[in-house]
Structure 1
Amino acid sequence: MSAHTLLTSLYRYKAWANGMLLDAMLALDPKELPPALGKALRLLNHAHIVDHIFMAHLEGRSHGYDDNEPDHLPALPQLSTDIRELDQAYIDHVAGLTAEALAEPIHFKFTDGKPGRMSREEMLAHVITHGGYHRGEIGRLLPEVAQASSRDVFTGYLHQADPSRRY
């Protein structure tokens, strides 16, 4: 299996998993909302902002965020629409990549202002694993809507294994 084929499958999985989680959250009875819903929405919004930030890095444009956990929290219906649209944008983005493009190193700045470097393929893997981690957190907070997922430590591992990525 090629990296391109794997990433295509992973991004389709991400859209499917996000869709199921969002549908379940939207179906919650507004009269009986779980106390942890606010925290779950913050996690969902954070994961979505990180998706936006990394898409901007992949496209070589500014993302406009100086924080990946802003105070403003969109309403769940709007956040759901935005997540689904960005998931489709990632599927479309991956579809147009060549093996050479996947291996391309991209220089960027993290929201803390420090520069970084990752290949396009590593960035795409981070977005997948980061989202899975937060879906798992949401599942632990809201067992009514999801099961827990595994932890995401991919970018932390990359920076520990190759400290020059955070110069």
Structure 2
Amino acid sequence: METIQKMYEHLIWANKRILASLHNIDEEQQEVIRLFSHILFSEIVWMARLQGIDSSKLPIWADVNLDFCEQLVKKNEENIISYLLIATKDDLEKTIIYKNSKGNEYQNTIREILTHVCLHGHYHRGQINTKLRSLGAEPEMLDFIHYIRS
């Protein structure tokens, strides 16, 4: 459970760094914001699934502005912390059955889902950094080891 906790502390930290970085670029870049909001919407979807809530109608892609992303960052942090406060080591091996947005049913362990959410966000934050660099902005240092050192 300690590793999962650290991974989510890193996820929250990385989301805040990307948010700050997007606030610092000269003009709003909808493509970059769309990628960032996808990370945030996906976190909402997976947290719903972990709590047994039907997520099949929740958006995973939407055109929103940076202010809306800021609200999602805060909401997701609260939801993640609340979930991890009650999750136990034994819970990690429990299987969750859920439907995706196309109505297909899947099942995974809580450990697999929690790991996926962290890796999914990290992948897309890397894409965001690539796009930031192409816009002439300095990419955010988001490596886990950098988080641990800071």
Contact 2:56/2:102, CA 8 A, preserved across alignment: no
Name the TM-score, length of structure 2 as normaliser: 0.84
Measure, in 1, the Cα distance between the counterparts of 2:6 and 2:127.
Answer: 23
Quote the residue 2:23 is aligned against: 26
Task: Pick from 42, 47, 51 the counterpart of residue 55 of structure 1.
Answer: 47
2:99 counterpart of 1:106: no
Task: Pick from 31, 39, 44 the counterpart of residue 36 of structure 2.
Answer: 44
Task: Pick from 6, 16, 39 the counterpart of residue 9 of structure 1.
Answer: 6
Q: Deviations over 1:55-108 (max 9, x none)?
A: 1100001235265223xx221022112123202321231121112211100000
2:74 counterpart of 1:84: yes
Query: In structure 2, what residue type is equivalent to 1:95?
Result: L
Q: CA deviation at 1:46?
A: 1.3
Measure, in 1, the Cα distance between the counterparts of 2:7 and 2:78.
Answer: 12
- Secondary structure in 2 aligned to 1:142? helix
Measure, in 2, the Cα distance between the counterparts of 1:117 and 1:10.
Answer: 22
Quote the residue 2:139 is aligned against: 146
Query: In structure 1, what residue type is equivalent to 2:12?
Result: A
- Secondary structure in 2 aligned to 1:108? strand
Q: Deviations over 1:31-76 (max 9, x none)?
A: xx27xx2111111111111111101100001235265223xx2210
Contact 2:45/2:58, CA 8 A, preserved across alignment: no
The number of equivalent residue pairs is 140
- Secondary structure in 2 aligned to 1:112? coil
Measure, in 2, the Cα distance between the counterparts of 1:80 and 1:102.
Answer: 29
Measure, in 2, the Cα distance between the counterparts of 1:94 and 1:145.
Answer: 33
Query: In structure 2, what residue type is equivalent to 1:13?
Result: H
Query: In structure 1, what residue type is equivalent to 2:51?
Result: E
Query: Could you say what the CA RMSD is over the residues aligned between the two structures, in angstroms?
Result: 2.0
What are structure 1's unaligned runs of at least 5 residues?
151-167
What are structure 2's unaligned runs of at least 5 residues?
144-150
- Secondary structure in 1 aligned to 2:75? helix
Measure, in 2, the Cα distance between the counterparts of 1:114 and 1:58.
Answer: 16
2:116 counterpart of 1:126: yes
Name the TM-score, length of structure 1 as normaliser: 0.76
Measure, in 2, the Cα distance between the counterparts of 1:64 and 1:111.
Answer: 4
Q: CA deviation at 1:25?
A: 0.8
